[in-house]
Structure 1
Amino acid sequence: MSRSWFEIFIGALLEVIWVSAMKHSHSLISAVIVIAILIFSFYLMIDASKNIPAGTTYAVYVGLGSLFVVLAGVLVYHESFSWARLFFIILLTIGVIGLKVVTDIEERQAH
């Protein structure tokens, strides 16, 4: 996996942390930590967009972030599970993987 794709993946994982932390942030210090993680997560996405088309970068970042947040909600915070949610999580995952594959093919064809 190239560095840019790795940055998107790590940025999306950090999104789970800052989204979850926002829910539990009750002090100025915790709010500052949440903001720092959020900024670093966005920085990784922006840096990745230097080598991957911006639309693809953003779609994969948001898609993975959403996927990870939903999974964390169900697995860690015991939010409700349904077969419909699972279906759409799988659909989202297929879309994210598809964007990566198509982008990789387009990059190889450009060289």
Structure 2
Amino acid sequence: MSWMYLIVAGLFECSWAIGLKYTEGFTRLVPTVFTVLAMIISFGFLSLAMKTIPVGTAYAVWTGIGAVGVVVMGMVLFGESHDLARVFFVLLIVTGIVGLKAVSS
């Protein structure tokens, strides 16, 4: 169950990171409220996951899921570059996440 908590935490990390763009420096109320809620939920699920997953592994996977998700959403929502090199390096992050899961007890 801890790994599911960690995945949910990572997805909410993507939400709040993308939400920061929409808050326009915390000057827009509705995006700011949703961003802060996503932060709270993300940290809450991360803390639940860390009950059984080692802190280094949990944090690396959480940030990895967030980084990959934000890069992909940046490509989709904001037209950011999706050239081959960028996709390759994102896949390296995914490989690291899968590797950490594979070697975790």
CA distance in 1, matches of 2:21, 2:30: 14
CA RMSD of aligned residues (A): 1.2
| CA distance, structure 2, for counterparts of residue 75 and residue 28 of structure 1 | 24
- Unmatched tracts of structure 1, length 5 or more: none
1-structure distance, mates of 2:73, 2:84? 16
- More moved, 86-95 vs 26-35: 26-35
Q: Name structure 2 gaps, 5 residues minimum.
A: none
CA separation in 2, counterparts of 1:64 and 1:36?
18
Q: Secondary structure at the match of 1:51?
A: coil
| In the alignment, structure 1 residue 93 sits paired with structure 2 residue 94 | yes
- Large movers: runs of 4+ above 6 Å: none
- TM-score w.r.t. length of structure 1: 0.85
Partner residue in 2 for 1:44: 45
What pairs up with 1:1-111 in 2 under 5 angstroms?
Answer: 3-25=1-23, 26-103=27-104, 107=105
For the pair shown, the structure with the greater C-alpha radius of gyration is 1
The Cα shift of 1:14 comes to 1.1
For residue 80 of structure 1, give the secondary structure of its aligned residue in structure 2: coil
Q: Paired residues, what number?
A: 102
In 2, the alpha carbon distance for the partners of 1:33 and 1:78 equals 23
